[in-house]
A and B are shown apart, each in its own frame.
Chain A
Amino acid sequence: MRFVDEFRDPELGRALAAEVLSTVEPGRHYKLMEVCGGHTHAIYKYGLDDLLPANVELVHGPGCPVCVIPMGRVDDGIALARRPEVVFTCFGDMMRVPGADGTLLDAKAQGADVRMVYSPLDALRIAKEHPDREVVFFAIGFETTAPSTALTLKRARMEGVTNFSCVCNHVMILPPLRALLDSPDLRLDGFIGPGHVATVVGARPFEFIPAQYERPLVVAGFEPLDLLQAIAMILHQLDEGRCEVENQYTRVVPYEGNLRALEVMAEVFALRPHFEWRGLGFISDSALRLSDAYADFDAEQRFGVPGVRVADPKACQCGEVLKGVIKPWQCKVFGTACTPEHAIGTCMVSPEGACAAYYNYGRFARERAVV
């Protein structure tokens, strides 16, 4: 494939891996966090872990939108889906996320009209095709997907579609990163910055990480060579005693972000003062709701939802996994009570979740280069 194969060239990959190997200091342990679930997925899919020296440890971060949805929000979604007048639409990986009383797939098997869509525009199309039904879109995602939800709502307003509404669960990546950096549990040496989020917000907002916390961050793409190059760039910074934000993903990420997308988001969304993150608890100013100007498209207001806070199952350690404090297989229920077929935690459900990635791709003893 043009524009893809170039970033999967095994020869270049091996050269980058050799560069990483030559940069690390023997005897020093490097702990790097890949913030984004897409990176976690790519690392396992391409077996990139195998190429790194044993003293370079990759820690999975909180950047998987499905993983950070708390159970109470899933239950709110299911309550809406069960209303007879509602066609409930969501992305496929959301359908298997457990609430306190089953998943959206369970609700579908019990008669709820739950439909998988690939984009919010598909949900809007369903609303136009079924004017007699109420079509609800369960919006999730970081700054990556928020602009498409915002544009869809603008279009719904422009076209006068009144039977369409949205449950807004959009969250932002910077607040949990700050929370992680403030947490005493975890000592990280550097960050692989989330490429998709940065296409919208740019690389500049991450500058507080080197400035205030003295950790380098390199915004990276999602192809194997992107990730290897970003790791090499972080290690070079550490080796040279530098600490700054660098942009490996310049072919897609403008340093200042996508101003048009940010403008649309500012028009359609407003900050929620508090939002609960699965496993991470409440984080202030970390999520978006529909702005007052778009309140008539807010499904939570249109229908009312239970809005009950549900505690995570006691055995589930998604929070520690999301914070990178433990590895997936160190969770008490990993691979036993919690498997992709019968997941307890969201990290096991999402294809980008660290537990699912480890379970599906990585559960084979690895032989790694020794320094």
Chain B
Amino acid sequence: MAGSDVSEREERILSIIETARAKPARFKDDRITMAHGAGGKATQTLIEGLFVPAFASPELSALGDAGAVEVDGAELALTTDSFVVKPLRFPGGSIGELAVNGTVNDLAVSGARPLALTLSLVLEEGLPSETLRAEVEAIGAAAAAAGVHVVAGDTKVVERGHADGMYVCTTGLGRRDPRARLSPSGLRPGDRILVSGTIGEHGTAIMLARGELGLEADIVSDTRSLWPTVDAVLDAAGPDLRAMRDATRGGVASVLNELARASRVAMVVREADVPVSPEVAGAAELLGIDPLYVANEGRLVAFVAPEAAGAALHALQAVPGGEAAAEIGEVRTEPPGMVLVETAFGGRRVMDQLVGDPLPRIC
């Protein structure tokens, strides 16, 4: 860039953008588009600009993965989720399995041991019973694997054409683990950023399973219960574990942006240290997609105080399926609310939230 006046103008523009980014979101869109469900900026605007002010609930305003509820001194966590994935079955999993793991994982990354689930099914007229039976069995098996019981349920049937086969909604109840001292706004400069394994498998597997791309690759979804992973990292880091998120829609990039904003800190991610399998890297390259923005269903991002980072990483790597867990970066002071990527070449760039919807309806 030439000339100091030019730089000053650039600085001013950048500061205007960052001020605008930090402002509370306002929901002004005329209609709902697919982007509102994609986990990026439009989703954030919907939640922070419409839902949070309407419900005026302090538990919801914390914007955690699960809400805190105290009942007679018992600290509980409550969460709910709907699953609208297409196709219903994909390599490595199915909608029923996702519905259990997704909800159980929201509890787990909130530092709560999952206790019980409710299940609500919206079935489309004409759905083969065989498909329903398979999904119900998948739900049972996933719940048993996660150590939770389905304690209540509901079934609705809608006319043909009004649902893609079936939608599954689950609510999860968990008990806060006494080892956990988590807060999405509690990150401090110097904290290390860890991921629990290779990223991007779930979103990529779904995209390829749709068969619209004419690509084939040996990629299976990463869907799994994260409680064993959380249990291990809580044991290793205890109160030094500052926050966790499962990196679902919007991927690791969205998690980092959300927490950078919530804690008003900066983050620097070392691109070369982010674990991505060669298959996912290859598919992402062909599709022009960054794996950091691709959805996961069994991966978490953990923020750990520097003194406990080594122990936490070892614990993550010791959990089956977490062998590729890695430290990918750290929390810094400047510029607040921003996530930066250090490329392998030593260049730097901003990693912002997802704007559009590159992967419609994958979880």
- Whether A362 lies near B349 (C-beta < 8 A) is yes
Write out the residue numbers on chain A whose beta carbons fall within 8 Å of the beta carbon of B22. Answer: none
Interchain pairs with CB closer than 8 A, number? 115
Say yes or no: is A294 at the interface (Cβ < 8 Å to chain B).
no
Number of A residues, CB within 8 Å of B: 47
Task: Give the Cβ gap from B144 to chain A, nearest Cβ, in Å.
Answer: 39
Say yes or no: is A301 at the interface (Cβ < 8 Å to chain B).
no
- Whether B288 lies near A51 (C-beta < 8 A) is no
Say yes or no: is B81 at the interface (Cβ < 8 Å to chain A).
no
Write out the residue numbers on chain A whose beta carbons fall within 8 Å of the beta carbon of B41. Answer: 341
Among residues 1 to 54 in chain B, which have CB atoms less than 8 Å away from a CB atom of chain A? 1-2, 6, 9-11, 13-14, 16-17, 20, 30-35, 41-42
- Whether A44 lies near B349 (C-beta < 8 A) is yes
Number of B residues, CB within 8 Å of A: 46
Given contacts A47-B343, A329-B14, contact A364 B349 (CB under 8 A): yes
Pick the residue among B31, B281, B282, B348 that contacts A47 (CB under 8 A): B348
Given contacts A106-B31, A110-B31, A351-B288, contact A47 B350 (CB under 8 A): no
Write out the residue numbers on chain B whose beta carbons fall within 8 Å of the beta carbon of A363. Answer: 14, 17, 350
Of the stretches A185-193, A203-211, A255-263, A332-340, the one at the interface is A332-340
Of the stretches A6-14, A73-81, A160-168, A280-288, the one at the interface is A6-14
- Whether B349 lies near A1 (C-beta < 8 A) is no
The residue among A47, A57, A122 with the most chain B CB atoms within 10 A of its own CB is A47
- Whether A361 lies near B350 (C-beta < 8 A) is yes
Q: How far is the CA of A340 from the CA of B16 in the complex (A)?
A: 15
Task: Give the Cβ gap from A8 to chain B, nearest Cβ, in Å.
Answer: 7
Pick the residue among A50, A57, A366 that contacts B2 (CB under 8 A): A57
Given contacts A334-B13, A360-B350, contact A46 B345 (CB under 8 A): yes
- Whether B9 lies near A364 (C-beta < 8 A) is no
Write out the residue numbers on chain B whose beta carbons fall within 8 Å of the beta carbon of A305. Answer: none
Pick the residue among B1, B214, B278 that contacts A57 (CB under 8 A): B1
Q: Can you report 11 A-B residue pairs in the complex whose CB atoms are below 8 A from each other?
A: A4-B285, A10-B345, A57-B2, A109-B33, A335-B13, A339-B20, A340-B352, A340-B355, A361-B349, A362-B349, A363-B14
Which chain A residues have a beta carbon within 8 Å of chain B's beta carbons? 1, 4, 8, 10, 13-14, 17, 29, 44-51, 54, 57, 92, 96, 105-106, 108-110, 118-119, 122, 224, 327, 329-330, 334-336, 339-341, 351, 359-366
19 more contacts with CB within 8 A, not counting A47-B345, A109-B33, are A10-B346, A44-B349, A45-B349, A46-B343, A47-B342, A47-B343, A50-B346, A50-B347, A51-B347, A92-B356, A327-B1, A330-B9, A335-B17, A336-B16, A339-B17, A340-B356, A363-B350, A364-B350, A366-B348
